[in-house]
Amino acid sequence: MARQKGPFTISGTLGDINYYIARGIGYERKAGGGFDGYAIKTKASMQPVRDNYNEFGTCSRLSKHFRLALSPFLIGIKGKLFYSRMMQLFLSIKALDGISIRGKRNVKQGLQTTKGKNLLKHYALTYQTPLIKALTAHGRFNWERQQLTISHFNPSLFKKPNAATHIGLTLGILDFDFDSLASSLHVSPTYFLDVCSGSTSFYLVPNKVKVPVHFGVAVLGIRFYSIEGDEFCELPRSVGAVILDCTD
């Protein structure tokens, strides 16, 4: 593989050379090689390829349903990097499954390990701004009461959009079934915090407290708002979300 040279870059195949563009950079390589579809499906030597394909497909479906389950917290977040990062998370957790045979390894078994749980707990759903880091540092989540308590937090210390008057905070409890990919999500009322207020303490609890039947994930959503009349209006592109904890 080599970089393309010249005043412009191209993509496609000319003669025996493949030309393609990745992240704005043009590359070229010799065409041919690899394996055809029939060989991958039938040859015994291609079994590792088939196993990887099966596990990749399972993680891809899981990633899609997990994103959909958390969609109220992720509305407005787009981009290939966002999707690929979550996919990589589940592939890494899947690889920790030391019980299932190759080709059948899965995220559910990977989450039975301490490392797997920690990967999910410390996964950044969105870019972790100083504001988000401070909120989690000042917060304590209790699974028994499904309550997030944030103590001695000072919102005036953090950068905010010019039009923002309030921070809206919402707690979500996701119950996710890694077998059927079904899920339920219970959320708290949004707590509005004046961006100019001083140190304050408060707590969030879902409207409906229900013990997760499958696998529980606690999520905090953060958005900026401005007051227009007597209404809170969400500002565009001001989304943040962080995983707080997950069940054992």
Q: Where are the domains of the chain?
A: 1-33, 37-121, 130-246
What are the two backbone dihedrals, phi and then psi, of residue 232, each rounded to the nearest 5 degrees? -90, 125
Residue 17 has pLDDT above 60, yes or no: yes
Residue 109 has pLDDT above 80, yes or no: yes
Helix 80-94, helix 114-121: angle, nearest 10: 170
pLDDT by residue (tens digit) across 22-77? 666 666 666 655 555 665 566 776 677 787 888 889 999 999 999 999 999 998 88
Q: What's residue 101's pLDDT?
A: 94
Side chain identity, residue 89: L
At 230, the pLDDT band (50, 70, 90 cuts) reads confident
CA distance 120 to 182: 18
User: Which comes out higher in pLDDT, residue 239 or 141?
Assistant: 141
CB–CB of 152/201 below 8 Å?
A: yes
What topology does CATH give the domain 130-246? Answer: Immunoglobulin-like (2.60.40)
Q: What's residue 226's pLDDT?
A: 95
